[in-house]
Amino acid sequence: MLCQKCHERQANVHVNKIVGGKMSATHLCEQCAKENGDFLTQFAAGNPFDFNHLLSGLLNMESSPGVSPPGVVAPAQCSTCGMTYGQFTKIGRFGCPDCYDHFAVRLDPLLRRIQSSTTHTGKVPAKSGERVKQRKTLEQFRREMQEAIASEQFERAAELRDKIRELETQLSE
């Protein structure tokens, strides 16, 4: 569609006005719209439609009363980098990798809204991925050891304890 004013450039500013119940539509190019001026001012100031605002809008929606999951108390601050959840909702960016764990309880509803799921299924890095696997095994061994102790299988528990120590040293390297 061509601009209704200069009839040269593509119209990419579309203004619908409703005056006294009658709607009128104007289609202008950016330049002519700028010259026309008056109705554009509301968009120009601070551009409230940018991405950060949209995201923090979503975040605030989640923290508004009645929407957050009942009984869940999320930590207000990441103990590693000091970023507060309030700051996060304003800027839409986390402060450090640990924020994901600190704010994990509040993250699922947000991720469900902006992503297709809450669990990664793609590429796993060789080295850091290996550590993730080791941590998982470590947790598994710890659980098994508790079970072994509870059922008085002390030999098995000692075996597991050694394995746990070995993994712990590997992970702390």
Partner 1 sequence: MSLSDFLQRATSRWMKDGGPEDDIILTSRIRIARNLQGLPFPILQTDTHADEVIRAVQEAVAAEAVAKVGKFEFIRCASLSPLDRQVFVEKHLISPDLAEAEKHGAIALRDDEAISIMVNEEDHLRIQCIMPGLRLEDAWHLASAVDDALEQSLLYAFHEKFGYLTACPTNVGTGIRASVMMHLPGLVLSGNIQRMLTAVSHVGLAVRGMYGEGTESNGSLFQVSNQVTLGETEEEIIGNLSSVVHQLIDHERAARKALLQENREALEDRVCRSFGILAYARRMDSRETLQRLSDVRLGIDLGILKGVSSGILKELMVMTQPAFLQKYFHEELAPGERDIRRAMLVRERLRLDDTEVR
Instruction: Give the binding site for partner 1 (CB under 8 A).
Output: 1, 9-10, 12, 30, 50-51, 55, 81, 83, 91-97, 100-101, 107, 110-111, 114-129, 132, 135-136
Yes or no: say if 157 and 148 are a contact pair by the CB < 8 Å rule: yes
How many CB atoms within 10 Å of residue 163? 15
Got the DSSP string for 5-26? TTSSSBP-EEEEEEETTEEEEE
Yes or no: say if 37 and 48 are a contact pair by the CB < 8 Å rule: no
Got the DSSP string for 41-77? HHHHTT-TTSHHHHHHHHHHHHHSTTTSPTT----SB
In angstroms, give the least distance from the CB of 95 to partner 1.
Answer: 4
In angstroms, give the least distance from the CB of 98 to partner 1.
Answer: 9
Q: Which is nearer to partner 1, 31 or 153 (CB)?
A: 31
In angstroms, give the least distance from the CB of 166 to partner 1.
Answer: 20
In angstroms, give the least distance from the CB of 108 to partner 1.
Answer: 10
In angstroms, give the least distance from the CB of 16 to partner 1.
Answer: 15
Q: Which is nearer to partner 1, 135 or 143 (CB)?
A: 135
DSSP 8-state code for residue 2: B
Q: Which is nearer to partner 1, 66 or 125 (CB)?
A: 125
Look at phi and psi of residue 84 and say left if phi exceeds 0, alpha if psi is from -120 to 50, else beta.
beta
Q: Which is nearer to partner 1, 101 or 162 (CB)?
A: 101
Q: Which is nearer to partner 1, 7 or 136 (CB)?
A: 136
